[in-house]
Structures are given as structure tokens and as C-alpha cells.
Amino acid sequence: MTAEPDGPEDRLRRFATIWSRAVFPVTSTSLTRPEFERELLPLARRLSRALHARPLDADEGRAVGATLVSVHCTDPEALSRTLDCVDAYLVLYCGEDGDREELRARCSRLQHAMAAGFAQELRERTLAEQEAISAAALKAQGVVAQALHATEARFRAVFEGAAIGIGMADLDGNILQVNGALLRMFGIPEDSLRTRNVKEWTHPEDAPQTWTLYEELVRGEREHYHLEKAFYRPDGTVLWTNLTVSLLRDADGEPQYQLALMEDTTERRLLNLRLRYEATHDALTGLPNRTFFFERLEKALGAGSGQRFGLCYLDLDGFKTVNDSLGHAAGDRLLVEVADRLQSCATAPGEMVARLGGDEFVALTTGPDTQREVDDLATRIMSALLAPISIDGRELTVRGSIGIVEGPAGERSPAEVLRSADITMYRAKSAGGNRFELADPEADARAITRHGLTTALPAALERDEFFIEYQPLVHLGDGSVRGAEALVRWLHPQHGVLGPDRFIPLAEHTGLIVPLGRWVLEQSVRQARKWRERHDQAGPLRINVNLSPCQLTHPGLVQDTVDILERAGVEPDALCLEVTESALIGADDDLLKPLRRLAEMGVDIALDDFGTGYSNLANLRRLPVSILKLDRSFTQGMQQFPADPVDLKIVEGIVSLAHSLDLAVTVEGVETGAQAEQLRILGCDTAQGWYYARPGPPDRLHQLALVDATG
Ligand code: C2E
Ligand code: MG
Ligand code: MG
């Protein structure tokens, strides 16, 4: 029995099976072998047809070769196995109807065509793939570049638009890029910066660690550093910056660039210097101030052994009068002139002059030989003050009192030295002023410091340490006691009785003068009430109370005065308020208003110490005063007999002027009968002085008035 022979289709399938089995192991397909066989079957059919086609279609062979590539037979081994298979089985299974020799030839040509087709397809495929890769790479590059560009653009925008200076340099310090702000800071065009190197930018004020930090950064040992740094601009000026330098590393972490961010702090620094200057210098005179002086004194006192210091503590005599009577502007100009003169006295190395405040100045000399130098310094200062100072067309004579402290460094503190100088200066002043005195440790120990008094003042008022002495005011015509001036004293627990000159200025300075003044007024008005009750028959006694300039500007003045008078049941005309000439000259209407109100109520206002200021007599008309108190200096000129004719003329003139303005004239400091007589002849109305009585307890006045009334 013979099996039915295979048909052509079966033979084709068998060929495809053999082909697939040969090639499948070297393909990279994801198909199963039977699936792969089904892929190859159409190709086998195409080869079979091509084998028989007339003429031979080589293109079909190429097409099959090419298709092999597309079914993932891209490996050269796959082609090789395919060609072997075609060579051995194509004619055998598909070429039964034809000339075997011719079929074999045709099969060879098909194999060539297949190989060619395969190769071309593979090349095209590879090219396409490469193309795709490179296109993708290109595309990718483009994307990256674009992204980079965006970052860069953003970076550029930040870079350019930044208010702070930004610069980039390589690790050798060559500058690669800088922004506009940095160029503007340096005031130069970009090209000239590009050729520069970071290391050229040294500055004498570079902090010691500046370049160490730099080296560490470029060596990759630190990521950034921050410091204040100065740069020279091309024009020689200095640019101060807050500098931050960062290390930029590449993708592998290798140091690549340095990036500097700098903020211009020149202005701020100048401001700081100015603030420092302002904090250490006196705004008016430009001299170093107390703070600065203390620093220098501290340094001088801390100097090594063999070093000494000499200090002159100067206080102008009578400056308050100038200030009060000519006004603060004139006082200021005087101080400026004095400061200039003092400065010219202390120009040697180790010497300095400072203003401690008000009219107090210090001159310091340091070195090994200050014993001799400090005397010279004080002498120079005294003679520098000799020439009058011209202000507003007036020639003002300026005098000063100097306290000198000299000694070795390392023994005393600045505060101790200054205290000693202050005490010594005060001693010079008490001795009449216009002189210098040398510090004396014994005198220091006994001395009462202004500081000590100032701090003790408030408690003194609470503890009732103040008391009032009264000095009678006598009518020159009939010698009767018309009233008394209240003069305050301080019974200090350690220092005994202190006169008002010692503490009134301090009370004015601290503001305690207001409660103290109110207390004096209260006491005096009560005293006036007592006198009035007892001595009605002798005519009413009046009380004179001194008012400080501070009290004048105190808003409660009028009300306080009215209350005090009412509470004591005393009429306003029993009170006379004494205001110094210097406090009123140049006063505006606001300042005069309270006085005017009091005057309208009947309180007398006296112009005290008249003639010591630089007052304009024509001004008297504006003031709500009814009494002139001629200063003691006028009466002093009448001590001898015959009196100085010029003094007499002046007093005569003043008296007639005062009377023509309806002002009564009181004279102070009458110490002799001759003076009293002289003043009476000149037309003065009342007098006050030791000739009649020294200031004393109220009972003394009571007796005087009694004697006067009865005798
Ligand atoms: P002032 O108002 O000119 O008082 C007159 C000063 O001359 C008093 O000095 C008095 O003791 C003194 N004196 C009187 N007669 C003579 C004399 O014949 N020869 C000499 N050489 N001096 C005489 P005092 O008491 O030291 O007062 C000084 C200044 O203190 C007063 O000058 C006055 O301005 C102020 N003062 C006194 N008490 C007070 C007060 O309660 N309040 C205020 N704000 N100042 C007062
Ligand atoms: Mg007075
Ligand atoms: Mg007086």
C-alpha cells in the first residue's frame, strides 16, 4: 500500500518547517517556533513562485531577504542558515516540475538576491535605527540645550538684574563673567574686568583670613566663605562690600568655578563711621566728646610703667551770663571759638582736647614727661583765651578756671581722675576764677563733688535739709525795712551749710529746682504772712523770692503762685519775684506771658543782677518788671571815697532811665554807710547789703523791723 503522495502545498509547508527549525534558534523574535513558521510560510511560497517564474524575478528574492529582517532574522547566522536551507531544500521540495539544473541555477540567483535584499534591508534598518538614535539624541540634546538655555536665561536675568554684584571666575582667579551691578560698583567697563585676576584685588584693610579662605576655596577644601572686603576702584576710591564666595563644582563634583556675590556696603559703612563719629564727637564744636575722651583717658591710664598723664579740666567763668543774655546762638558761637583756640593748644602727639558738655573742656597730654608738659598746656590755654572774642559786634572777654591732675599711669581710674580734676577746677573757680590750680589729694578728700551733691539733692528736699535766710530790703530815704529777700541754704549732713551757688545750678540741671522753688515760695509767703500779722502798724512787709529760668518756663508757675498766696492768705502785692536780667533778655512773648499775668495780679517783678548781662536798656520797656536790682558790681566801685566818677555816672544814668520807665531801683551789696549815702543821693529807692544786715533767720528781720518801726 502506498501512501498518498504529498501535494505541492504540503511540500511547501515541509520546506517552511525545515527553514523555521534551522533559523528559529538564531532569531530574536518573541514568537513561538510554530508562529515563526507561519511567518515564514508566505516567504517560502514567494520563493517557490519565484523559482518557477519566467523570467526570474530577482526582486522577489530581494524582497524575501528584506522581509527576513523584518521578522527579526537580523543576525548574519540567520541569513546564512536561510541560504543553506534554500540551497538544500527549495528545489527539492518546490521544484519537481522542471529542469533540475536550471532550477538549481535559478535558486542560486534567488539566494544572491535574498542576500542582497537582506543586507540592504539590514543596512537601511541600522541606518534608520542610528538615525532614530541620533535624531533622538539630537532631539534630546536640543531639549537639554533648550532647558539649559532656559536656566541660563533665567540665570542671566537674575545675574543681570540683580542689585548685588555677581562675578564668576575660574579657579586660577581669572574673571570670566560679571554682571552690571558689579561693574557699576567698580565704576568700570566690562572688558577691563575680564582681563583681571581676583588675586590682584588685595586691599590694605583685608581681614587677615581673607586670602587663606580664598585659597581653601579654590583648592576645593571649603564650599564658601563670607567676609567684609574693601576694593580699590580705578579712580582710587574705596568700595566696601559684603562678599560671599561659593565654589561651583561640575557634575562629577570637581571644583570648577568660583562665584562671588557682593553687596555694596560703602554707604552703610560711611554711615556707621559717621554714627561712630557722631557718637564720639560734639556736634557743636566738632571736638571729641565725653565718650571719646573717656576712651582715650582710659588708654592713657592703662599705659605701661614709666608713662604718665596730665589733664587740664577747664570751665569757663561766667559763661551762663553770656548764654542767657546774648542768647544760645551767641553762646554757641563763643563755645565754637573757644574750642578752636583750645584745639590749637594741644597739637603735639599724645595731646587731645575734648568738650565734656556745656562750657566744660578737657585737654589731655600723655607721655613720660607730663609733669612739665601739663603746666605748659594750662598756660597755653589761659593765654589762648586772653584775646576777646567778637560776637555780634561785641567784644566778649572769656576767662576760665582750670583744674590740673597729673600722675603716673596705672594708679587711678578715669572716673577718679576726672573727679579730682573737677574738684580742683572748682577750687580755682572759688578762688576767683581765671586761674589754674593743681590737684591736691587732701583737698580732694575734703571736697564736695558736684556729682555727690546732685545725687543727694532729691532726698535733701524730702528730709527738710533746706532752710531760708532773709536779708532785709531797706528804704534809702528813711532807712525803714520794707521787706526781705528769701535766700535758700542747704544744711548738708556732712558738709554743713551750703550756699545757693553750690546747689542751685545743680537743681536747675536736674529739674529739682521746680519743687525746691515752690517750697521756697511757700515758706517765704508764710513768713510774709507772719510778719504782716505782727507788724501791721509798721507798714506791710514784702517778700522777695528768686525765680530760676526753669521755673519761668514751668507751666504751673502762675497757678502754683496763686494757690500759695491764697492758702497763706497773702495779697499778691506782698510778693516780689526776682528774675535775673539774663533770663529775660531776648525772651519772647510766650515766656513773658506768665510773668505778665502775675504782674497784672499785683505781684511785683524785679530784674535781678541788673548790669551783669549784656542787656539792651531799650528792652526794659517790653518787660513786665517794676523793679531794677542793680548788681553788686556797681556798689563795689563806690567802696572808696570819693567813688569812681564813671561808676557814679552809670548808676545815675540807669536810675534816671529806670524812673522814667516807672521802675523802682534797688541796689545790692551795700557794705558801707558811704555807699548807702552815695546811692541815696543818686536817687536809688531801696538797698540791701551787709551794711544793714547779713541774711539771717526770720526773727532777726522781725527785730530789725521792730526797731525800725519804733525807733
Ligand atoms: P541774689 O538774688 O543776687 O542774692 C543776693 C546775694 O548777694 C546773696 O547771696 C546774698 O547773700 C549776697 N549779699 C547780700 N548782701 C551782700 C553784701 O553786702 N556783700 C556781698 N558780697 N554779698 C551780699 P547768696 O545768698 O549766696 O545767693 C546767691 C544767689 O543765689 C542769689 O543771688 C540768687 O540768685 C540765688 N538764690 C538764692 N536763693 C534762691 C532761691 O530760693 N531760688 C533761686 N532760684 N535762686 C536763689
Ligand atoms: Mg535775688
Ligand atoms: Mg542779685
What is the DSSP annotation of 395-442?
EE--EEEEEEEEEETTSS-HHHHHHHHHHHHHHHHHTTSSEEEE--HH
Encode pLDDT of 435-452 as tens digits: 999 998 887 777 777 778
Residues 401, 437: Cα–Cα separation, whole Å: 8
Encode pLDDT of 357-404 as tens digits: 899 999 999 999 999 999 999 999 999 999 999 988 889 889 999 999
Closest C-alpha to ligand 1, atom 4: 487
For residue 239, the SS3 value is: strand
Name the maximum alpha-carbon separation found in the chain. 194
Residues 169, 476: Cα–Cα separation, whole Å: 97
What is the DSSP annotation of 289-342?
-HHHHHHHHHHHHTS-TT-EEEEEEEEEETHHHHHHHH-HHHHHHHHHHHHHHH
Ligand 1 atom with the shortest distance to the CA of 670: 18
- Name, in order, each residue with C-beta under 8 angstroms of 295's C-beta and a sequence gap of 6 or more: 280
Q: Is the pLDDT confidence value at 155 over 80?
A: no
| Cβ 437 vs Cβ 445: under 8 Å | no
Residues 53, 113: Cα–Cα separation, whole Å: 15
Q: What is the reported pLDDT for 489? A: 97
Closest C-alpha to ligand 1, atom 21: 669
Banded pLDDT at 614 (limits 50, 70, 90): low
Closest C-alpha to ligand 1, atom 37: 487
Neighbours of 273 (CB within 10 A): 10
Q: Which sequence spans correspond to the domains of the chain?
A: 1-159, 164-280, 283-439, 454-705
| Cβ 538 vs Cβ 708: under 8 Å | yes
Ligand nearest to the CA of 671: 1
Residues near ion ligand 3 (CB < 5 Å) are 608-609, 668
Ligand 1 atom with the shortest distance to the CA of 580: 34
The grid cell for 35 is 508562529
What backbone phi and psi angles, to 5 degrees, belong to 520? -60, -45
Please work out whether the CB of residue 520 comes within 6 Å of at least one atom of ligand 1.
Answer: yes
Report angle CA 104, 110, 112 to the nearest 5 degrees.
Answer: 110
Q: What is the mean pLDDT of residues 557-579?
A: 95
Going along 552-662, which residue ranges are E strands? 575-580, 604-610, 627-630
Q: Which CATH superfamily is domain 283-439 in?
A: Reverse transcriptase/Diguanylate cyclase domain (3.30.70.270)
- Best residue among 668, 672, 688 to mutate for probing ligand 1's pocket (most ligand atoms within 8 Å of CB) is 668
Encode pLDDT of 188-201 as tens digits: 876 777 778 899 88
Q: What is the mean pLDDT of residues 6-32?
A: 87
Which of 23-27, 130-134, 176-180, 577-581 shows the lowest per-residue confidence on average (mean pLDDT)?
130-134
Ligand nearest to the CA of 675: 1
Distance (angstroms) between ligand 3 centre and the Cα of 632 equals 7
For residue 229, the SS3 value is: strand
The grid cell for 222 is 571649603
**Residue 226's closest CA among 264, 261, 267, 182?**
261
What backbone phi and psi angles, to 5 degrees, belong to 214? -60, -50
Banded pLDDT at 2 (limits 50, 70, 90): very low
Distance (angstroms) between ligand 2 centre and the Cα of 154 equals 82
Q: What is the reported pLDDT for 242? A: 84
Banded pLDDT at 536 (limits 50, 70, 90): low
Looking at every residue in the chain, the average pLDDT score rounds to: 86
Neighbours of 311 (CB within 10 A): 30
Q: Is the pLDDT confidence value at 89 over 90?
A: no
Distance (Å) of CA 264 to CA 157, 238, 239, 269, 274 = 20, 11, 7, 9, 17
- Best residue among 509, 546, 632 to mutate for probing ligand 1's pocket (most ligand atoms within 8 Å of CB) is 546
Please work out whether the CB of residue 488 comes within 6 Å of at least one atom of ligand 1.
Answer: yes
The grid cell for 605 is 517783678
Q: What residue spans of 581-620 are helical by DSSP H?
A: 581-584, 589-601
Q: Which residue in the block uniquely carries the three cell numbers 589761659?
A: 382
Which of 42-46, 441-445, 501-505, 589-593 shows the lowest per-residue confidence on average (mean pLDDT)?
441-445
Residues 534, 471: Cα–Cα separation, whole Å: 18
The reply to whether CATH 3.20.20.450 applies to domain 454-705 is: yes
Ligand 1 atom with the shortest distance to the CA of 691: 18
**Residue 423's closest CA among 408, 402, 407, 406?**
402
User: Quick one: CATH architecture of 164-280?
Assistant: 2-Layer Sandwich (3.30)
**Residue 84's closest CA among 22, 161, 141, 174?**
22
Please work out whether the CB of residue 695 comes within 6 Å of at least one atom of ligand 1.
Answer: yes
Q: Is the pLDDT confidence value at 138 over 50?
A: no
The grid cell for 512 is 529739682
